[in-house]
Amino acid sequence: MNNYVELEQEILQISQLNNVINLLNWDIAVNMPTGAAESREQEMLLLTSIVHSRLKASKLEELINKTSAEIADLDHWQLANLQRIKKNVFEATCISDDLQKRYVSSSTKCELIWREARKNNDYQRLKPYLQEVLSCVKEMAAAKSTYLKCSKYDALIDSYDPDRKSSEIKKVFSVLRESIPTLIEEIVERQKTTKILPLTEKIAKEQQKLIGKRIMELMGFNFASGRLDESTHPFCSGTPFDTRLTNRYKEEDFLSGLMGIIHETGHALYEQNLPNLYKNQPVGKAKGMAIHESQSLFWEMQVARSKAFSVFLSKLLRDEFGFKGAEYSNDNLYKLITRVKPDLIRVEADEVTYPMHVLLRFELEEELINGELTIDDLPSFWSNKMQEYLGIKPNTDKDGCMQDIHWPMGAFGYFPAYTNGAIIASMLMKSAKEKNSNIDNEIVNGDFANLNKFLDSNIRTYWFLKNYC
Amino acid sequence: MNNYVELEQEILQISQLNNVINLLNWDIAVNMPTGAAESREQEMLLLTSIVHSRLKASKLEELINKTSAEIADLDHWQLANLQRIKKNVFEATCISDDLQKRYVSSSTKCELIWREARKNNDYQRLKPYLQEVLSCVKEMAAAKSTYLKCSKYDALIDSYDPDRKSSEIKKVFSVLRESIPTLIEEIVERQKTTKILPLTEKIAKEQQKLIGKRIMELMGFNFASGRLDESTHPFCSGTPFDTRLTNRYKEEDFLSGLMGIIHETGHALYEQNLPNLYKNQPVGKAKGMAIHESQSLFWEMQVARSKAFSVFLSKLLRDEFGFKGAEYSNDNLYKLITRVKPDLIRVEADEVTYPMHVLLRFELEEELINGELTIDDLPSFWSNKMQEYLGIKPNTDKDGCMQDIHWPMGAFGYFPAYTNGAIIASMLMKSAKEKNSNIDNEIVNGDFANLNKFLDSNIRTYWFLKNYC
């Protein structure tokens, strides 16, 4: 077998093990009984340590070296794949087995504690576990930063948005920081005189699922390679071959659940439409979480919260689901899904206030990683910043620094990806409309074929060469 | 670390990988979208090959040798564990990596083809795949029989009922073969004059689940370490820490679904109550499938189809679920759940006709393994034997030799475990009643505590020393 083929073979197996890990993670959120947490934690730890050892194995290193001496034989996909493989391997190599285990173990543990501590609004309970996670993350960041020749926080950002630097993000975010507060004020002021009919009817969960599935179908979700389930927080997981998204439903506000489904379907469409030949190779995987969020936010913010979509949705609800009230008119739906209101909770935030939530977390996590902020001081710093950015202050840590899963699960450096994703999404829609002036009409008709084609060629199956090593 | 502890550590990891495989198998039956079949097959193949290699690794062999030289230091659980580990390792060692892969791959494939072929009653479609599975199984049986010093078919039986021989089974089954046909005739004759009220009311699936879950709770199922789901065929899977059973429901016959739940809960109670300290070690695993079936059949046949249980069930249905009709009287329920009627389908069979289904399969599979019967001739031999044993003949292969999943999935040698399990179950109930004459009263009151205690000490946490190597 030639060396590159053998290399792909070994990477394929590592990818398959990661697929299994993803499925088990999905199962934890959707199915696992609470009593199985400890045994599952051990099983996950074993699988991740097998993946880690295989990435660090001398066999793989040799294959990489041999293949690197034969790059003249590779096409540009294979070349880009080799570069991504090298990066993955170097990143694994700089983390010791012991640190890797401590990271997986402490973050799995902390995530479980967080679920309980958040419910009970008990930050003291969470603190020691979060401290341990932070210590591991800082050690990992230090190791990676040496290899990537960047700051510790940049090394973390790199995991979620390859090659992105904190300094670049700051430059962009400073514009948002300047302009958004005034924008919020103006919008809130204008909204005071806008008449909106509130949703009063309760919509049963089963009915909401039917509506959601109908829209998923129209968006192009392939149910033969994926599922829709329920969980406390919506997410999209699984594998590119078996893409599983989840949602939650509020009977008194079906729009919130529907926007959740559309958001997660955006993620899922990216996974389902990655380049077929490379779905189990690094070059065929999603290009980081900023791009991933751009895909979900493209559908949620650019498509589904548009005037055109309100027309489509209003008609669909009336014709296919028998919704009759005036509150379901396209005009009223549009007002409902574009309403702006500062809120303590990030996942409840609208498009305009959302970046302020991200800015807050971005600034605090950089300080946590650099040691300028301690876990002890986190709650008060959070509250003060919230007051400063959105003019509201949480009464509880539950609605403050304990609301998100990211830090307890060890994902420091992730948050900026949301707002970068939102920015990319808006740039994508701008470009899509420049290429096709009929897009709004297509959305009104529930026809998303051209939008999917646009995303296919410009994002999903596109790869750019960049020399990583 | 001492050698035995290190050995347990390695076996623990192998067991954890098997737990993951079991969960993925559960997921295939309960959740997996059809389009993910191929990628999942590859993922399963990888995991099973990792397990196989680890069982055959020289590291494990060394640990076994070192520990075997130190048996004076082991208590009797550890000693029995060492013996089981040796057997598992020797069994893996005699199967080549290539054969192992061919077996997993052909049986996974064949099972998928079987689902479709059975639906379409297309035996020709199934044949080449079944042939390939049979070839692999015969090769594996030949390899194992050399190590176990027994016939090829005995080597297969050993996987499901350790140390059981075909000759022993024949001796017992010949009694059944002689006596059951006459018994069926007598019962069918007597039933002609018995008045039974049929179930006419449709019971919604959700209601059936509530009844099932209530009875599972009373039986002692721990929902913190397990789940109840739906699948085409009921089964119990998962792990001892996360025991997942499934069921199917017929609106027009809730008793069939309820008996399914009780049967699978019997399996689940065994898994959930295995010795805590050894749940991830061979000595703490279920003692083969004959004993496993004895546990499900104990609850289904000995407990739930008894007069005492009918009294309990009738009262429960009336008091807690508002069932009113005369058809739910204890007397009528008892008649319904003990009705005997020859049927083409094994899983629909009653306690009396069931052994004839097993006898047929036992005889045919031994001939298939010994080469006395070919895959080509299987359908006609099946039909003729069915006519001989139960006086009915299938019109289709779907209702004939294609009805069971066992052979397509490579499980030759399993079937006798059902009837051996039924026999063990009846012996267990006899013994339980000898020790506690109040059992029927307890069942009437839905109190299963003493039955559980009896099974705990005599089956679930009991281990007998036996020198395997």
C-alpha A293/C-alpha A419 separation (Å) is 8
Instruction: Work out the average pLDDT over A318-326.
Output: 96
Q: Which residues on chain A are in Cβ contact (under 8 Å) with B17?
A: 43, 46
Tokens matching residue B338: 């003990």
Q: Do A241 and B31 touch (CB under 8 A)?
A: no
Asked whether residue A466 carries a pLDDT value surpassing 60, the answer given is: no
CB A233 within 8 A of CB A245: no
Place of tokens 């009104």: A444
pLDDT digits (tens, 9 = 90+) for A144-170: 999 999 999 999 999 999 999 999 999
Identify whether the C-beta of residue B373 lies closer than 8 Å to the C-beta of residue B130. Answer: no
**Chain A, window 261-290: residues with a beta carbon less than 8 angstroms from a chain B beta carbon:** none
Q: Per DSSP, what are the bridge partners of residue A223?
A: none
> Number of helices (H) and strands (E), helices first, in chain B?
18, 3
Q: Tens digit of pLDDT for each residue in A16-42?
A: 999 999 999 999 999 999 999 999 999
Cβ contact A242–B33 (<8 Å):
yes
pTM (two decimals): 0.93
| Contact between A222 and B32 using a beta-carbon 8 Å cutoff | no
Mark yes or no for CB contact A23/B27 under 8 Å: yes
Both tokens of residue B107? 């049986």
Cα B275 to chain centroid distance, Å, stands at 20
Q: Distance, in angstroms, between B334 CA and closest chain A CA?
A: 35
A35:B239 CB<8 A: no
Phi, psi of A247 (to 5 degrees): -150, 170
Does the pLDDT value for residue A468 go beyond 80?
no
Are A282 and A232 a contacting pair, CB within 8 Å? no
pLDDT (average), residues A229-251: 95
Chain B residues lying within 8 Å of A46, measured CB to CB: 13, 16-17
Distance CA B177, CA B160 (A): 22
Give me the amino acid identity at A445.
N
**Which of B17, B43, B47, B48 to probe by mutation at the A interface, max A CB count within 10 Å?**
B43
| Model pLDDT, residue B107 | 94
CA B391 to chain centre: 27
Q: Which residues of B touch A222 (CB under 8 A)?
A: 35
Residues B430, A238: Cα–Cα separation, whole Å: 49
- Any long-range contacts for A122-130 (C-beta under 8 Å, 24+ apart)? A123/A379, A123/A397, A123/A401, A123/A402, A126/A402, A126/A408, A127/A375, A127/A376, A129/A408, A130/A375, A130/A407, A130/A408
Average of per-residue pLDDT across A48-52: 96
Has residue A191 got a pLDDT over 50?
Answer: yes
| CB-CB contact of B341 with B392 (8 Å) | no
Residues of B in contact with A227 (CB under 8 A): 31, 33
CB contact under 8 Å between B224 and A43, yes or no, is: no
Burial per residue of A364-402, b for 16 or more beta-carbon CB atoms within 10 angstroms, e otherwise: bbbbbbeeebebeebbebbbebbeebbeeebeebbbbbb
Measure the CA–CA gap between B91 and A116, rounded to whole angstroms: 45
Distance CA A296, CA A229 (A): 17
Between A16, A23, A50, which is nearest B42 by CB?
A16
Q: Tell me the nearest-neighbour CA distance from A48 into chain B, angstroms.
A: 12
Task: Note whether B39 contacts A227, CB cutoff 8 Å.
Answer: no
Q: Mean pLDDT in runs of 10 for chain B (469 residues)? A: 92 98 95 94 95 96 96 92 95 94 93 93 98 98 95 97 96 96 95 94 97 98 97 92 96 96 98 95 95 97 98 98 96 97 94 97 98 98 96 96 96 97 98 97 98 96 55
Q: What percent of chain A has pLDDT over 70?
A: 98
Q: Going by C-beta distance under 8 Å and a sequence separation of 6 or more, which residues neighbour residue B130?
A: B110, B114, B375, B407, B408
Torsion over CA: B9, B10, B11, B14 (sign) = positive
Longest distance between any two alpha carbons in chain B, whole Å: 71
Distance in angstroms (rounded) separating the CA atoms of residues A425 and B198:
62
Question: What local confidence, expressed as pLDDT, does residue B232 receive?
Answer: 85
On the 0-12 / 13-18 / 19+ scale of CB atoms within 10 A, B120 is exposed
pLDDT 10s digits, A384-415 = 999 999 999 999 999 999 999 999 999 999 99
Q: Touching check for B43 and chain A: CB below 8 Å?
A: yes
What pLDDT is recorded for position A467? 43
The alpha carbon of residue B398 and the mean position of all alpha carbons in its chain are separated, in whole angstroms, by: 21
Distance from CA of B220 to the nearest CA of A (A): 15
Using an 8 Å CB-CB cutoff, list chain A residues near B21: none
Where helices occur in A391-468 by DSSP H, the ranges are 416-435, 439-444, 449-455
Checking if the pLDDT of A344 tops 70, the result is yes
Q: Does the beta-carbon distance from B16 to A225 stay under 8 Å?
A: no
| Cα nearest neighbour of B16 on chain A | A43
- List the 7-36 stretch of A: residues with Cβ below 8 A of B: 13, 16-17, 19-20, 23-24, 27, 31-36
**pLDDT, position B141:** 97
CB contact under 8 A, A242 and B35: yes
Query: Which of chain A's residues have a Cβ under 8 Å away from the Cβ of B246?
Result: none
- Which among A10, A43, A101, A279 is the top mutation candidate for probing chain B, defined by the most B β-carbons within 10 Å of its own β-carbon? A43
Q: In chain A, what are the domain boundaries?
A: 3-160, 205-338+436-460
Q: What span, in angstroms and rounded, lies between the C-alpha atoms of B307 and B331?
A: 8
* Amino acid letter for position A181: P
Q: Which among A22, A41, A48, A241 is the top mutation candidate for probing chain B, defined by the most B β-carbons within 10 Å of its own β-carbon?
A: A241
A102-133 as b/e: b if 16+ CB within 10 A: bbbbbbbbbbbbbeebbeeeebebbbebbebb
Q: Vertex B123, ends B117 and B126: CA angle to 5°?
A: 60
Closest CA–CA distance from residue A37 to any residue of chain B (Å): 9
Size of interface A-B (CB pairs under 8 A): 79
pLDDT, residue A464, reads 54
Cβ-based contacts of B241 with chain A (< 8 Å): 35-36, 38-40
Closest alpha carbon within chain B to A19? B43
Which of A8, A13, A51, A242 is the mutation pick for testing B, counting most B CBs within 10 A? A242
Q: Which residues in chain B have their CB less than 8 angstroms from residue A239's CB? A: 36, 39
CA distances from A406 to A142, A204, A361, A401 (A): 20, 31, 10, 11
What does residue B216 show for φ and ψ, rounded to 5 degrees?
Answer: -60, -45
Q: A13, A16, A21: best mutation site toward chain B, by most B Cβ within 10 Å?
A: A16
> What does the pLDDT read at residue B468?
40
Over residues A417-435, the mean pLDDT reads 98
